[in-house]
Amino acid sequence: MKWPISAYQRAVRGFFFRLGYAVALGVLVFDLAVLPLGLNLDLWSPILDILNAPVGALSLLIPCPERGLDFPFGHCHHQGGQTAPEFFFSHLRLAVPVYVLCFYLPNLFSAGWGWLTRRRRQRGIGSERPGAGSS
């Protein structure tokens, strides 16, 4: 017998999936930016810029020694005396919450859109057809 999954369990499971995807994406971006392993950087550089853009934009608000990877926006090119593992974890400390938020944005937009359409229907806005009232 298969037990039904409650809404709470679905939400927790969705959060952990998003968390796992965010960690994987943060590790992938860091790994490809620091150690490209012979890949064609002409192809991968724009992709990495797009994937790291939210993290780079937020890292501009953080002091330079504590930043992770701040491309394409930042110009802080020193690690502030951090070792490689510290630099990796400082990048993940910033990248994982940003990516989790980015993974929740489509759900927030669709919930907001649904709320707006329900609100418009309740108020009767947009239910009239133009030109149908006067004949």
Residue 133 located in a structural domain: no
Give the pLDDT score at 74: 64
Which domain does 53 fall in, by range? 7-122
Please give the pLDDT value at position 45: 84
| Residue 63 forms part of a structural domain | yes
What lies within 8 Å, CB to CB, of 128 at 6+ separation is: none
In a domain, 103, yes or no: yes
Largest pairwise CA distance in the chain: 78
What is the structure's pLDDT at 69?
75
Chunked mean pLDDT (size 10), the chain, 135 residues: 83 95 93 81 85 87 75 67 82 92 92 89 70 53
Q: What is the pLDDT of residue 98?
A: 93
Looking at residue 34, its pLDDT comes to: 82
Q: Within a domain: residue 44?
A: yes
Residue 130 in any domain: the answer is no
- The answer to whether residue 77 sits within a structural domain is yes
Per-residue pLDDT, 25: 95
Structural domain includes residue 18: yes
Please give the Cα distance from 122 to 113 (Å, whole number): 14
The domain tally of the chain equals 1
pLDDT at 129 (0 to 100): 57
Give domain status of residue 110, yes or no: yes
pLDDT tens digit sequence for 86-113: 888 888 998 999 999 999 999 999 989 9
